[in-house]
Amino acid sequence: MKNLLSMEHLTIEEIHHILDLAQAFENGEASSLARTHHVANLFFEPSTRTKTSFEMAERKIGCTVIPFDAGFSSVTKGETMYDTVKTLEMIGLDAVVIRATEDEYYNELLSGINVAVINAGDGAGQHPSQSLLDLYTIKKEFGKFEGLNITIAGDISHSRVAKSNAVALQRLGANVHFLCPEEWAGSFEAHHSWDDLIEISDVIMLLRVQHERHKVNKSFSKESYHQEYGLTIEREQQMKESAIIMHPAPVNRDVEIASELVECERSRIFEQVRNGVYTRMAIIETILKERE
């Protein structure tokens, strides 16, 4: 694995390798990298979890993290992404983790760049490290993907998390269901009511409404969205005993999920954050190992 750009590029074997390595790291295994690698995190969109989690993961496997402040970088002076990344390569970096607003921003980096590129989210495109940490969370819980009923609910067409997970989970044998208002279904065949889904789901994965990606900002009522598409306290009571709740966060409490459910027994929302560090250690280690 030279880069990590989209879940569509990963083989099933590569996915399982990363999940197994994440488990090994969680069990206390140390990094087997032979040298110190230099990495930088280029975040051109807001982030709390992903940026901090990558930095923690990088440090835990012995990388040197070179500070990069997107808001004060030469991109604000008109420099292209290609020239910025090429510059960091010439300075001596081994890998860059990038989050940007444009879908598939990484296409301009595919030739001429030798530093490894890890996509930490491209617009409404993909978010592969989130998907891998979600897969890790599901595998830890159920030990398998085949036959699980997984409902992804929310702003499907604008969500890079939904798109990354849809591809990966279907390939791994899960039955993936989508639930959203009609205008957010995009190319997905979606349900528009919880009726057939709440009682059969093993995993309910909620998504934040991506207001920042809506071209037309229609009026939006948090209360009616919560009543129609959110996970309310009443709906949670209808879930299977073994079913879990996931959300990539940030959570908008009482919109996509009732505030009281965020840390309820079946919620794995904060556990996902913890799992993210091991998963990102596994991603970076796998990529850097190939460069040694």
Closer CB to ligand ASP, 113 or 156, in the complex: 156
Shortest reach from residue 171's CB to ligand ASP, in Å: 20
Query: Would you count residue 284 as binding ligand ASP (CB under 6 A)?
Result: no
- CB closest to ligand ASP, residue no: 208
Shortest reach from residue 211's CB to ligand ASP, in Å: 10
Shortest reach from residue 39's CB to ligand ASP, in Å: 19
Closer CB to ligand ASP, 86 or 213, in the complex: 213
Q: Which helix (H) or strand (E) holds 210?
A: none
Binding-site residues: 49-50, 77, 99, 127, 130, 160, 208, 249-250
Subset of residues 205 to 224 that bind ligand ASP, contact rule: CB under 6 A? 208
Subset of residues 235 to 254 that bind ligand ASP, contact rule: CB under 6 A? 248
Strand partners, 119: 98
Query: What's the residue count for the chain?
Result: 292
- 50 to 5, 137, 262: CA distances (angstroms): 15, 16, 19
Return the residue of 118, 161, 258, 282 that touches ligand ASP, per CB under 6 A: 161
Query: Would you count residue 158 as binding ligand ASP (CB under 6 A)?
Result: no
Using CB atoms within 10 Å of the CB of residue 33, give its burial: 0 to 12 exposed, 13 to 18 middle, 19+ buried: middle
Closer CB to ligand ASP, 192 or 211, in the complex: 211
Q: Are 98 and 42 in contact (CB under 8 A)?
A: yes
Is the bond leading into 128 cis (omega within 30 degrees of zero)? no
Query: Would you count residue 121 as binding ligand ASP (CB under 6 A)?
Result: yes
Q: Are 183 and 24 in contact (CB under 8 A)?
A: no
Subset of residues 169 to 208 that bind ligand ASP, contact rule: CB under 6 A? 208
Please tell me the distance from the alpha carbon of residue 225 to that of residue 119, in angstroms, as a whole number.
31
Closer CB to ligand ASP, 3 or 159, in the complex: 159
Q: Tokens for 148?
A: 């699980």
How many Å separate Cα 260 from the centre of its chain?
24
Closer CB to ligand ASP, 130 or 232, in the complex: 130
Return the residue of 37, 139, 158, 160 that touches ligand ASP, per CB under 6 A: 160
Binding-site residues for L-aspartate: 77, 160, 208
Residues 6+ apart with CB under 8 A from 286: 1, 14, 17, 18, 21
Q: Helix/strand/coil (H, E, C) string of 67-110?
A: CCCHHHCHHHHCCCHHHHHHHHHHHCCCEEEEEECCCCHHHHHC
Backbone angles phi, psi at 99, to 5 degrees: -120, 130
Interface with ligand ASP: number of residues (CB under 6 A): 6
Closer CB to ligand ASP, 84 or 164, in the complex: 164
Closer CB to ligand ASP, 126 or 201, in the complex: 126
If we measure between CA atoms, which residue out of 248, 226, 225, 291 comes closest to residue 120? 248
Shortest reach from residue 50's CB to ligand ASP, in Å: 6
Shortest reach from residue 125's CB to ligand ASP, in Å: 10
Positions touching ligand ASP (CB under 6 A) are 121, 127, 160-161, 208, 248
